[in-house]
Amino acid sequence: EGGGQMLRTSLGMSLLTGKAFSIHSIRSSRPIPGLKPQHLAGVRLCQELSDSVVEGAEIGSQKLVFYPRKIKSRTLSVDIGTAGSITLLLQTILPAVVFGPGKVRLKIIGGTDVPFSPPIDYFTNVLVPYLRKFAEIDVQVTRRGFYPAGQGKVEVAIKPKFVFEEGMALASYQAMVREAVNLKFERRPELVAVKGVSFASKELDDVADRQARSARAGLSGLLCPVKIDTFYGETSSPGSVVTLWAIFGDSDKKDSVILGASRLGEKGVRAEAIGSDAALSLSSEIKSGGCADSHLADQIVPFVAVAGGSLPLGQMTAHLKTNVDVVNNFLSVKLENKTLFSV
């Protein structure tokens, strides 16, 4: 299931734990197998952050061997090329940087809102709040990038709250983190608000507004305030996206829960249908009863493995099960009775 996902997770966990890995048959079942430019960009970024040694890092390669070295505090610029996903690139390095030795700054050019990856508003407003338990994280989007041209621009700064010092044993580091904070959620607090962002390219007239109106209508049955902001901007390829997130409990407290959903605009599909689909997806996540939505669940696995805790889930996916299997090659995490928990 998903050779690209397995590679991304393995890279981040390898950098964090110091364990080397090899992966073969990369995307072997795809029409064009092997590494694509966006996968290679993730490998190269890991190298640049750590001076790690890699074998097989080339376009089309179906085997890669990675010998990790310790992450450094660095400022880097990355151009993924065309509309390669910025959020998937960030997912690759997050475990090692959030639980790292120092501040990392990145300037990334690529796709901010592209198919088969989390939109940048989901990354910023759903995933990042969970990770702010462990690091100061600032995300600035200066330009959106849609498929196929991309050219979106994002700047990210990450400063760990728990510094993984040179020479420190991983078990000692984990104990330090777990003593201070974890990802333990026993139940979901009360729904207090739904927020969202609807964005469209400048030339798409009132598309962002129509997406937002439709999404609001689809969420009108919820007994909480619903606020969806609309934005327009210059983009290299036209596109639109709507991202919604439900906030449970006080967002300033450690047990608050955020569930998200999103929908990319699509040629030939009315803006109203895009907004309605996003609202339906969020409603489904809310009804599931979990403390993480179906997309966040697989993204959060490495952090539960490091920091400890337990996370009741509403929906189980193949991506989640794959990520649990991959992370277990480096650290221990379990998935039982629709609950993700550390060992």
Rounded Cα distance, 220 and 222, in Å: 6
Tell which residue, 234, 241, 235, 242, has the closest CA to residue 216.
242
Q: Which domains are assigned to the chain?
A: 3-170 (3.65.10.20), 191-288 (3.30.360.20)
pTM: 0.96
Q: 269: which DSSP letter?
A: S
In 39-103, which ranges are E strands? 53-55, 64-67, 75-79
How far apart CA 263 and CA 265 sit, in angstroms, is 7
Active site residues: 319
How do the pLDDT tens digits run along the chain, 343 residues long? 458 899 999 999 999 999 999 999 999 888 999 999 999 999 999 999 999 999 999 999 999 999 999 999 999 999 998 899 999 999 999 999 999 999 999 999 999 999 999 999 999 999 999 999 999 999 999 999 999 999 999 999 999 999 999 999 999 999 999 999 989 998 899 999 999 999 999 999 999 999 999 999 999 999 999 999 999 999 999 999 999 999 999 866 667 999 999 999 999 999 999 999 999 999 999 999 999 999 999 999 999 999 999 999 998 898 899 999 999 999 999 999 899 998 7
